[in-house]
Amino acid sequence: MLYVLGGFFLIGGAIGFFAELTAPSGSMGLAVALLALGALFCYLGYLLRRKRKNRVNKTSNLTARINEVGMATELPIVSAPIGVVLRPGERCCYQADASVLVVKNQVVGRAGGGGGVSVRVAKGVSVRSSSGSSRTVREDVAYTYPGIFSMTDQRFVMTGEKAFEYPLDKLTSLTPYNGYDGINLQFGQKSYTILMPEPFWIPKIIDLLAAEEAQI
């Protein structure tokens, strides 16, 4: 659509431009404006098309990577893991920079019943003074705590402010978070949402460990 509009304006501007060259009528400014609009719409169309192409490529690359991981038959080994001290015979199978996601429902301001003045105190947060009654405004606010997430053949280990460590056999469930942005790990009554690259490695490693144990 943007290309069509751009082409329409470019054609109109070109006709007006050449008409002014042959028989000046004082409309050169309009012709130039049409040419400029045409160029702008064509450029916007190009940006939109490139954005769509990049999104398709990203999805295609992600799908290919998921398929590649899904077809893996050998347990991945991190030769020199950082942030975790391995026990004798323990192998690190996955490690990445990650963040623990914590969502808190908290007070972000107050809403008045009428009149008063609204004062912006932070991005997306304002406090309104009111001559009438007011109520507390609460919203879910997301916090991320960075660290290093490691999965060995024995444990899950997260470093950082929200550090934790659990044996593999304490894992009660795992589910993807927001597509492939991360993973939810449940250990009994405690759960963690971990943002990390390629979280689909976690269930795959569990399957590979189970297959390895079955062969023993």
Whether residue 28 is found in the same domain as residue 96: no
Position 121 scores a pLDDT of 45
Shortest CA distance to 46 belongs to which of 83, 13, 3?
Answer: 3
Q: Does any domain span residue 121?
A: no
Q: For the segment 60-93, what is each residue's pLDDT rounded down to a tens digit? A: 788 888 999 999 999 999 999 998 999 999 999 9
Position 136 scores a pLDDT of 82
Could you tell me the CATH number of the domain that includes residue 205? Answer: 2.30.29.30
Whether residue 62 is found in the same domain as residue 98: no
Q: Does any domain span residue 12?
A: yes
177 and 184 Cβ atoms separated by less than 8 Å: yes
**Nearest 10 degrees: CA dihedral of 16, 19, 20, 23?**
-150
Whether residue 64 is found in the same domain as residue 10: yes
Query: For the chain, first and last CA: distance in Å?
Result: 62
Is a pLDDT exceeding 60 seen at residue 59? yes
Burial 24-35 (b: 16+ CB within 10 A, else e): eeeeeeebeebb
Whether residue 50 is found in the same domain as residue 146: no
Number of domains in the chain: 2
Q: Does any domain span residue 177?
A: yes
Q: Which domain holds residue 10?
A: 2-70
Whether residue 55 is found in the same domain as residue 97: no
115 and 75 Cβ atoms separated by less than 8 Å: no
> What amino acid is encoded at 94 in this protein?
Y
How many CB atoms are closer than 10 A to CB 201?
A: 21
Is a pLDDT exceeding 60 seen at residue 118? no
